[in-house]
């Protein structure tokens, strides 16, 4: 079974600083996709960034970037220049077509941003 | 586009009652799914559908039924509500779950007494 592990239940960062959220996953597949979703207090799930496993280049989206280490099965999210609006729950997720195209989520990391 | 809509936003049920959570999308997505979110457990897949007339079970299907008669709608039925089904329920849709962005609805908060 595929599993996604987020070992940091809570993190805190000073506004304008950088923070890294950790995620590891377990799979025997070679072709898969990894995601980071943000859930603010409104509960709306918002896609932050997506990485395709066959791509060696790390995905970036403005202030958000990932460090994808395929051999280590690690997929961390770096948030640069943190803003108050970044405060939210962040979920790491994994999907592969061979598993029925289903998303498997980690348990989440709650990020607080200190002004 | 309205995106993914869910009704109701909040519902209180008594143990043993049945109800249907509605989900609709107007993006012509083939893939739709239902998740439940419980504290400390992230989102867990209940049921999913890869197209009209096709449904399959996810990680936690017991106590729930689904059907997909149209591309747009994917209702989730609770047959006999139990307190363990108290949760927040999210519907999501996409062209492909693994390759494409999944769009989530705003969620339905369900309390079973």
Residue whose token pair is 């958000």: A64
Nearest-CA distance B62 → chain A (Å)? 18
Say what the pLDDT of residue A46 is: 92
- A104 has a chain B CB within 8 A of its CB: yes
Residue B99: the pLDDT is 62
pLDDT value of position B98:
58
Identify the CA nearest to B6 among candidates B105, B110, B111: B105
Q: If you average pLDDT over residues A40-69, what whole number do you get?
A: 92
Q: What does the pLDDT average to over A37-50?
A: 93
Whether the predicted pLDDT of A57 surpasses 70: yes
Shortest alpha-carbon distance between residue B36 and chain A (Å): 11
Least confident stretch, A31-35, A75-79, A89-93, B15-19: A31-35
A97 versus B70: the higher-pLDDT residue is: B70
How does DSSP assign B48-68, residue by residue?
A: EEEETTEEEE-SS-TTEEE--
User: Taking the mean position of all CA atoms in its chain, how far away is CA A87?
Assistant: 14
Q: Please give the pLDDT value at position B86.
A: 97
Cβ contacts of B96 on chain A, cutoff 8 Å: 97, 101
Question: Are residues B101 and A45, on separate chains, in Cβ contact within 8 Å?
Answer: no
Q: What is the mean pLDDT of residues A74-79?
A: 97
Asked if B42 has any chain A CB less than 8 Å from its own CB, the reply is yes
C-beta atoms of B90 and A107 within 8 A: no
Question: Which residues 81-100 on chain B approach chain A with CB closer than 8 angstroms?
Answer: 88, 90, 92, 96-99
Nearest to B45 by CA among A76, A12, A2: A2
Determine the Cα–Cα distance for residues A3 and A84; give it in Å rounded to an integer.
31
Instruction: Kindly give the pairing relationship between strand A33-39 and strand B19-25.
Output: unpaired
In a mutagenesis test of the A interface, which of B30, B32, B43 is the best target, namely the one with the most A β-carbons within 10 Å? B43
Q: Which two tokens stand for residue A33?
A: 């996709």
Mutate to test the interface with B, among A45, A95, A100 (most CBs of B within 10 A): A45
pLDDT at position A81 over 90: yes
pLDDT in the model for residue B101: 77
Per-residue pLDDT of chain B (113 residues), as tens digits, is 779 999 999 999 999 999 999 999 999 999 999 999 998 888 999 999 989 999 999 989 999 999 999 999 999 999 999 999 999 999 999 886 656 778 999 999 999 99
CA atoms within 13 A on the CB side of A10: 3
What residues does A38 pair with on adjacent strands? A46, A90
């Amino acid at each position: 079974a595929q599993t996604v592990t987020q070992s940091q239940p809570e993190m805190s960062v000073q506004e304008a600083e950088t923070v890294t959220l950790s995620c590891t996953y377990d799979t025997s597949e070679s072709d898969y996709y990894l995601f980071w979703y943000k859930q603010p207090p409104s509960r709306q799930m918002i896609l932050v960034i997506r990485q395709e496993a066959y791509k060696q280049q790390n995905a970036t989206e403005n202030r958000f970037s990932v460090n994808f280490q395929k051999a280590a099965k690690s997929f961390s999210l770096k948030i640069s220049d943190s803003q108050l609006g970044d405060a939210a729950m962040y979920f790491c997720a994994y999907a592969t077509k061979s598993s029925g195209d289903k998303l498997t989520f980690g348990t989440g990391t709650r990020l607080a941003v200190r002004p | 586009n309205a995106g993914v809509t869910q009704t109701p936003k909040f519902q209180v049920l008594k143990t043993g009652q049945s109800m249907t959570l509605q989900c609709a999308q107007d993006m012509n997505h083939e893939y739709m799914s239902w998740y439940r979110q419980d504290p400390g457990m992230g989102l867990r897949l209940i049921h999913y559908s890869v197209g009209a007339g096709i449904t399959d079970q996810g990680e936690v299907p017991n106590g729930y039924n689904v059907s997909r008669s149209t591309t747009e709608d994917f209702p989730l039925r609770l047959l006999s509500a139990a307190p363990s089904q108290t949760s927040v329920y999210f519907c999501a849709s996409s062209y492909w779950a693994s390759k494409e962005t999944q769009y989530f609805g705003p969620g339905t908060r369900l309390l079973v007494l």
